[in-house]
Amino acid sequence: MISNKYLKSFDIVLVFLVTALVTLGIIAISSAQHVNSGADPIYVKRQILFFVVGLIFMLITAFIDYHFLGDLYIVAYIAGILLLISVLLFGDASKGAVRWLDLGFTRIQPSEFVKIIIILFFSKLIDKRQQQINKFSTLLLLGILLVIPVLLIMKQPDLSTSLVFVFIFLMLLYVGGISYKYIISAILIGIPLIFLILIYIQNPNQKLLKDYQRDRIMAMIHKDNKEYADDYFQTEQSVHAIGSGQLYGKGLYKGTLNQLSYLPEPHTDFIFSVIGEEFGYIGCISIIVLFFLLIVRSLWIAKDAKDLFGKLLIVGVVSMIGFQAFVNIGVVTALLPNTGLPLPFISAGGSSLWANMIGIGLILNVSMRRKKSFY
């Protein structure tokens, strides 16, 4: 039973921010699916149902003491690895990738839930080994434990999700107290390495990336090259849609490119384009501000967490949501190559929404047990 002391620290502001993002997403999805023209609002109905179920997942996660969840970190990690293996063995293929498991009544994307498992696992492990975090043996162990799920994700293949895993891991290491000598060394090695990789993948015979992954990157580098016109088409249409919205947008259901179906995948990866065309700069900046407030609010809670484990959990969730939001918006505005990452809380889809809602549940969990509460 949760005491009144905990309930008083339940962060209703965080729930409001999430609800606002989901609501705007549902409105945008209804436009992307041309509900105003009489189309079946199946994705709208599903997203509402996903949100209701997500709220249940969020509350369950919030009210189970996160220390108890932390005690299950090894079991959770093993379960996550088995989930990823099951996808490779029994998963459904879609658009050249195997990322889904069919449960009969619905399909799920296990990698979305494994993100939460990765946050829980490494938060607990770094908390337990915080005094040895700068020992090479500890970093080697942590690195090996990260590489296993990352390789399984890349096997699907899903490079973008594997990058989410890596980003979460790096942020947890930073908060866990990794020495700046490692950080500086990683930067000095990493930046030249990235440039070398970019040079290498321009070779048509490169073996590092799948052909479609290489083509997406090449389309960003050589936007005017007709060879990559098909790969750049989505992004080009997205930029046109956002630009045409100008300051206030064309109005709900009045986005020309959206309503005439010139925007591929408008209800999922490119939902931000719909918002840009129909609600303009005001709509786009409102979404960004909501994400900013959610992140700041979460980090404010982390500041008062009563232990390192709680801080790490929040930083992990914030890293997951913030990185995906940044990359998705970067893709639709032609700043980054197409990755296939959904916009958290806004893009249509159950697995992503549920994983993010569970993540918010972890933040609420820490919030209710923090040392103090300032509003």
Residue 101 three-state SS:
strand
| Alpha carbon separation from 186 to 128, 162, 163 (Å, rounded) | 24, 18, 16
In a domain, 28, yes or no: yes
- In sequence order, the 6+-apart residues with CB closer than 8 A to the CB of 200 are 206, 208
- pLDDT tens digit string along 206-258? 888 887 778 788 877 777 777 777 777 788 888 989 999 999 999 988 888 87
Residue pair 142/168 in contact (Cβ under 8 Å)? The answer is no
In a domain, 21, yes or no: yes
Average pLDDT over residues 262-284: 89
Can you give the pLDDT at residue 35? 81
- pLDDT tens digit string along 312-334? 999 999 999 999 999 999 999 98
In a domain, 374, yes or no: no
Residue pair 123/143 in contact (Cβ under 8 Å)? The answer is no
Can you give the pLDDT at residue 372? 58
Can you give the pLDDT at residue 157? 84
Cis peptide before 157 (omega within 30 of 0): yes
Average pLDDT over residues 73-93: 92
In the chain, the number of structural domains is 1
| Alpha carbon separation from 110 to 55, 66, 247, 322 (Å, rounded) | 19, 22, 39, 20
Residue pair 76/83 in contact (Cβ under 8 Å)? The answer is no
Query: 2: pLDDT confidence band, cut at 50, 70 and 90?
Result: low
Average pLDDT over residues 57-72: 95
Across the chain, mean pLDDT equals 89
CA distance 239 to 232: 11
- pLDDT tens digit string along 153-198? 999 888 899 999 999 999 999 999 999 999 999 999 989 998 888 8
Expressed as residue numbers, the domain containing 239 is: 4-368
In a domain, 373, yes or no: no
Residue pair 294/17 in contact (Cβ under 8 Å)? The answer is yes
In a domain, 19, yes or no: yes
Strand partners, 28: none
Average pLDDT over residues 135-151: 95
- pLDDT tens digit string along 334-375? 888 888 899 999 999 999 999 999 999 999 999 998 865 444
In a domain, 9, yes or no: yes
**Percentage of the chain with pLDDT > 70?**
96
The more confidently predicted of residues 47 and 374 is: 47
In a domain, 40, yes or no: yes
Residue with tokens 């090996």: 144
- In sequence order, the 6+-apart residues with CB closer than 8 A to the CB of 185 are none
In a domain, 17, yes or no: yes
- pLDDT tens digit string along 91-128? 877 766 778 888 877 888 999 999 999 999 999 999 99
